[in-house]
Amino acid sequence: MPLRRLLELLPEVSVVMLMGRRAEDSWARFQKRYPGESGRYTVIASLHPSGRGITRGGQTSRAAGNEQLTADLARSKDIIG
């Protein structure tokens, strides 16, 4: 299902979490194609929740990655209310 259609089915969504590079790339394409619609959302780019994503391919510790992911999720919760 295309992202635009999915978001149409979820009118209460206000925050989009981009979890990983593929999600970021997909959102960039969505923004280009639908600039007006993409502007309605607060976007939080975060780490992919896989083991490799959490450690950024071994560049950081698992603890630091988990801390970052937890902070990003908390930020989304604060925005939503």
Give pLDDT tens digits along the chain (81 positions): 699 999 999 999 999 999 999 999 999 999 999 999 999 999 999 999 898 888 888 888 999 999 999 999 999 999 998
Torsion sign (Cα): 76, 73, 3, 31: positive
DSSP letter (8 states) at residue 50 = S
Q: Is the pTM of this model over 0.75?
A: yes
What pLDDT score was predicted for residue 1? Answer: 66
CA dihedral 10, 16, 17, 22 (to 10 degrees): 90
